[in-house]
Each structure stands twice: as C-alpha cells, then as structure tokens.
C-alpha cells in the first residue's frame, strides 16, 4: 500500500518496505521516485527510515526520528544490508551474529555478483607498463639510485621509464592487453635530458627523458590498448628516488645526482624490453611490486 500526503505544493509518498516483529520500516519517496502505477523504485539516491513502535493500529505508537542516508543505486539492495537486518531484530555488534544467519532469519538472499567467465574470481589489481634500459645502463642507474637512497632514504626499485601509469585490471586481462599492445612495437631510442624533481612521492627526484616522437607514440599506443586515459600530458622520466622530501632536500638530491654521475645527462640508450608490472601505489615500500610479464621487443619473446 502507498500512502500519499501533501506538503505545500509537493506530494510525498510512503510505503511499507520491510517489517520485523515489533517495528515497521517505511521508505519515504519523492514524487519522481514513484512510478505512475504507484510502485516505488528500488534504485533510489535517498531514502528515509521511519520506525514506529508498536505498529499502526495498536494505538500509542512512539515515533522514532527519521534517519537520512545517502546511497548509490546498487547500495539500496536491502538483501545485502546485514547491519540493518541486525538492528531490526534487536542485535548489536556485541552479539556477533553472522550475516548469513541474520539473512536467513529475515528471509532474504545475499546479493550475488553477475557471472564473469572471462575474469573468473580474479580481483582487479594495479598495474603499470615500464620501459627497461639495457643491462649496462641499468647497472649504472642502480648505482646512482643506491647512492642517493643512502643519503635521502626511500624504497628500492628497478630503474625504468613509466610507459603507462597506474591502471586497474584483472591479471589475465592485463596480460592479454599487454601482449596485444607490444605485438607491433619495435625497439626505440631514449635520451636523458636532465635531472629534475616533482611534487609528490612517486615523482620525487628523477631523470627527464626527451619526449621524442618514438617515446611519446609508444606510450600513447600502449595506453590505448590498456584503456588508460591520461589526465595530464605525458612526461617520460626515470625516477631516482621515491619520497616525501622538502623542496630544499629535493634540490640537494638533484645536485647530488649530477655530482655522482656527471655525464648522466645526455646519456642515450636503446629500449628493447617492456614489462608489465603489478604496482600497488598504496604500498610505498614497493615490497609487493612484481614483474608479471617481460617482452623482448626484438624477438617478441615473453618471460
């Protein structure tokens, strides 16, 4: 049953949504949330819960003030609102009632996610694509990075040019898209243009890479395959240290990098390997980071 009343020029509706032994829960709906047939829609952006004890018709009802909540369109699936069900039946967190037990008592089923045969039960993780320098350049950069960490701190990580930044996919899909992205790529040349520092943890102090057409097009190509959309222009770089340093410390670190390896600026090398890496940016220790796939752009071999 839908009850209707007027408030000024607006009409409001109230309908019984769910009941318990000694309480009745009502959902208050704005006019646009009620269909012409009088049925309420389940996907609402706001709802009001009015609890009346005892129920209508028994007299002497006590009105508990309404509770206003903001929810998403999927969140108003009461069959998954276990906390609401526990409250309706007089339970609290101290009672330690399992969700499946309270759902059985109320008589509802849990919300089930739609089947996803492609992704299975795999969760989405954060990934990025790196361009890796050849072994001699890698060793040279690692030596520079180690010297800077000893003075300024920060986690250890392998030297790389970020080709595609942080994106989230299921593991199988990330690997599949990575394979598709590198299928037509060829080795290209990168040149270090200078040492600079940025404004956040993952761009603390770094080597700027000259944004040649090859460098930029490789990134754009991979972004397209992996569904990554940039919010800022691409700035190719090789990070030397990660950290939350002051501007004064960053400037000292920048100068130290130039002192430790005086000829690093202007260094040119070939990029012949791209890697798909699992890089949870919430893990600032980088200990959980891992290389998932490595592609040799010359032979198209994967490791």
Asked whether residue 88 is domain-assigned, the answer is no
**pLDDT 10s digits, 99-108:** 555 555 555 5
**What is the share, in percent, of the chain residues with pLDDT greater than 90?**
57
Distance CA 3, CA 212 (A): 68
**pLDDT 10s digits, 6-62:** 444 444 444 444 444 444 444 444 444 444 444 433 333 343 444 334 333 434 444
Q: How confident is the model at residue 163 (pLDDT cuts 50, 70, 90)?
A: very high
Is the domain of 144 the same as that of 290?
A: yes
Parent domain of 234:
124-296
* pLDDT at residue 97, as a whole number: 59
291 neighbors 275 (Cβ within 8 angstroms): yes
Q: The whole model's pTM is what?
A: 0.61
* 237 is a catalytic site residue: yes
Is the domain of 152 the same as that of 69?
A: no
Asked whether residue 82 is domain-assigned, the answer is no
Task: Give the pair of three-digit tokens for residue 83.
Answer: 């906390």
* pLDDT at residue 104, as a whole number: 59
Element housing 64 (H / E): strand 62-70
Asked whether residue 98 is domain-assigned, the answer is no
Asked whether residue 101 is domain-assigned, the answer is no
Is the domain of 284 the same as that of 226?
A: yes
Of the candidates 59, 76, 93, which is a domain's last residue? Answer: 76
User: 255 exposed, middle or buried (CB, 10 Å; 0-12, 13-18, 19+)?
Assistant: exposed
Asked whether residue 154 is domain-assigned, the answer is yes
Is the domain of 21 the same as that of 130?
A: no
Q: Please, which residues bridge with residue 131 across strands?
A: 161, 274
Is the domain of 161 the same as that of 264?
A: yes
**pLDDT 10s digits, 226-266:** 999 988 899 999 999 999 999 999 999 999 999 999 999 99
Asked whether residue 217 is domain-assigned, the answer is yes
Task: Give the pair of three-digit tokens for residue 112.
Answer: 């089930």
* pLDDT at residue 194, as a whole number: 96
* pLDDT at residue 303, as a whole number: 86
Asked whether residue 59 is domain-assigned, the answer is yes
Distance CA 170, CA 183 (A): 20
Select the more confidently predicted residue: 165 or 95.
165
Is the domain of 194 the same as that of 253?
A: yes
Distance CA 303, CA 287 (A): 21
Domain count, the chain: 2
Is the domain of 45 the same as that of 143?
A: no
Of the candidates 41, 76, 111, which is a domain's last residue? Answer: 76
Of the candidates 76, 107, 141, which is a domain's last residue? Answer: 76
Is the domain of 174 the same as that of 281?
A: yes
Residue (of 272, 155, 169) closest to 202 by Cα position: 155
Q: Please, which residues bridge with residue 103 across strands?
A: none
CATH code, domain carrying 226: 3.90.1140.10
**β-strand 268-271 against 161-170: which pairing, if any?**
unpaired
Is the domain of 137 the same as that of 272?
A: yes
Q: Which of 40, 41, 179, 237 is catalytic?
A: 237
SS3 185: coil
Strand residue runs (E) in 171-234: 188-197, 205-209
Q: Which of 41, 85, 101, 160 is catalytic?
A: 160
Strand residue runs (E) in the chain: 2-7, 10-19, 24-29, 46-53, 62-70, 124-132, 161-170, 188-197, 205-209, 237-241, 268-271, 273-278, 290-296
SS3 20: coil
Q: How confident is the model at residue 95 (pLDDT cuts 50, 70, 90)?
A: low
Distance CA 157, CA 230 (A): 24
Asked whether residue 81 is domain-assigned, the answer is no
Is the domain of 63 the same as that of 174?
A: no
């Amino acid at each position: 049953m839908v009850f209707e009343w007027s408030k000024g020029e607006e009409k409001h509706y109230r309908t019984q949504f769910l009941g318990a032994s000694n309480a009745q829960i009502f959902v208050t709906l704005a006019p646009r949330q009620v269909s012409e047939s009088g049925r309420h829609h389940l996907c609402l952006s706001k709802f009001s819960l009015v609890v009346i004890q005892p129920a209508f018709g028994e007299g002497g009802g006590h009105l508990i003030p309404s509770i206003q909540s903001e929810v998403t369109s999927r969140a108003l699936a009461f069959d998954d609102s276990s906390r609401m069900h526990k409250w309706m039946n007089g339970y609290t967190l101290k009672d330690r009632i399992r969700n499946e037990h309270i759902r059985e008592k109320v008589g509802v089923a849990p919300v089930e996610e739609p089947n996803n045969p492609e992704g299975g039960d795999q969760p989405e993780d954060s990934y990025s694509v790196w361009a890796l320098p050849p072994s001699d350049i890698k060793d040279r950069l690692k030596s520079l990075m180690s010297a800077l960490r000893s003075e300024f701190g920060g986690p250890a990580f392998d030297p790389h040019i970020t080709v595609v930044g942080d994106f989230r996919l299921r593991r199988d899909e990330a690997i599949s898209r990575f394979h598709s992205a590198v299928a037509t790529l060829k080795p290209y040349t990168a040149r270090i243009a200078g040492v600079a520092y940025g404004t956040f943890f993952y761009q603390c102090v770094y080597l700027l890479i000259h944004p040649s057409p090859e460098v930029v097009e490789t990134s754009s190509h991979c972004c397209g395959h992996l569904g990554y959309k940039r919010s800022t222009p691409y700035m190719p770089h090789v990070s030397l240290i990660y950290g939350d340093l002051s501007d004064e410390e960053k400037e000292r670190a920048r100068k130290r990098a130039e002192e430790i390896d005086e000829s690093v600026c202007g260094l040119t090398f070939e990029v012949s390997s791209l890697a798909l890496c699992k890089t949870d940016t919430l893990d600032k220790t980088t200990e959980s980071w891992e290389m998932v796939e490595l592609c040799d752009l010359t032979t198209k071999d994967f490791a």
